[in-house]
Structure 1
Amino acid sequence: MLYDLPAGGVEPGETITDAVKREAKEEACIEVEVGPLAFVYEYAPQLNGEKYGPVHTLVMMFECTKLSGSAARMPEQPDPNQTGVKWIALSRLGDIQLYANIGKQIQNYAIHKRNIDLIEEQRL
């Protein structure tokens, strides 16, 4: 079984942080406060035997905090391959198969909290 984090693209007229909030709501039915940019993940299919398909992707991972009163659950219209919603303890990330295999990087970020600046032109 593969586990994945809520994710998706940015829609027209939407900021990246708005997209993070929307995807968390759509895929796990939770409200989140979007914190700092934690890290960036790149999947280059030509360098990885196309193990996740042919599309080159760049993913921005943000630290998020679940807002109180918000409980994760399966959405009414889940993604086609989604079978559930489950919190996994940081200490157990090595025991599961994440899509993509970034469990160690998530654990490392949680320990060291080394952030990357997100520079948004509209805020300059």
Structure 2
Amino acid sequence: MYPIRVRACALVVEHDSVLLVKFEDEHGVHYNLPAGGVEKGESVKEAVAREAFEEAGIEVEVEGLAFVYEYAPHLVQDMYGSTPSLHMIFHCRRNQATEPILPPNPDPHQVAVEWVPLHQLHQILLFPHISTHIFENVQNQTKIQYIEEHQLKVKM
């Protein structure tokens, strides 16, 4: 069996800015989309909503799949560790009643939640390095078909 971690990621864009989680550690400052692993008993879309709330303090409506990113360690000399992962990045719309905030118990290196203008994405260190993909996806309003079994009509 090929073990692969599935990560659920929220792409929240408002007023030509993307919501990112800011981290600072011994290597400096970097950013990530609000994201994390899918837990037992939840769908990928449920995980996206949970991660957006846990990491950025916002409630979101998860919309279409923007794109998928795969990390295959053996192809990049374990650049980010040895665990393969598949990142499913979904367009999300923020519930306007919720404001992005640093969570009460953030990751030890998480220092902020910030709106970063799309035209400045190339000026920050974003992991993974998908700034160009985010920019192009938002500009082209691209969505990938995402099919969920529970929404299919079953013929008897």
* 2:62 counterpart of 1:29: no
- Unaligned 5+ segments in structure 2 are 1-28
Q: Distance in 2 between matches of 1:56 and 1:81?
A: 22
Q: Which residue identity lines up with residue 111 of structure 1 in the other structure?
A: Q
The structural deviation recorded for 1:81 is: 2.2
Q: Which residue identity lines up with residue 88 of structure 1 in the other structure?
A: V
Deviations 1:10-67 (A, max 9, x none): 2222121111111000001011111100000001111112111111110000011111
Q: Distance in 2 between matches of 1:58 and 1:81?
A: 23
- Unaligned 5+ segments in structure 1 are none
| Pairs within 5 Å for 1:32-43 | 32-43=60-71
Identity of paired residues, percent? 46
Give 1 or 2: higher helix fraction: 1
Q: Distance in 1 between matches of 2:84 and 2:126?
A: 18
Q: Distance in 2 between matches of 1:17 and 1:119?
A: 11
Q: Who is 1:9 aligned against?
A: 37
* 2:80 counterpart of 1:48: no
Q: Who is 1:118 aligned against?
A: 146
Q: Which residue identity lines up with residue 78 of structure 1 in the other structure?
A: P
Q: Distance in 1 between matches of 2:70 and 2:109?
A: 22
Q: Which has the larger radius of gyration?
A: 2
| Pairs within 5 Å for 1:43-82 | 43-82=71-110
Question: TM (normalized to structure 1)?
Answer: 0.95
SS at the partner of 2:134?
helix
SS at the partner of 1:122?
helix
The structural deviation recorded for 1:122 is: 1.3
Q: Who is 1:87 aligned against?
A: 115
Give 1 or 2: higher strand fraction: 2
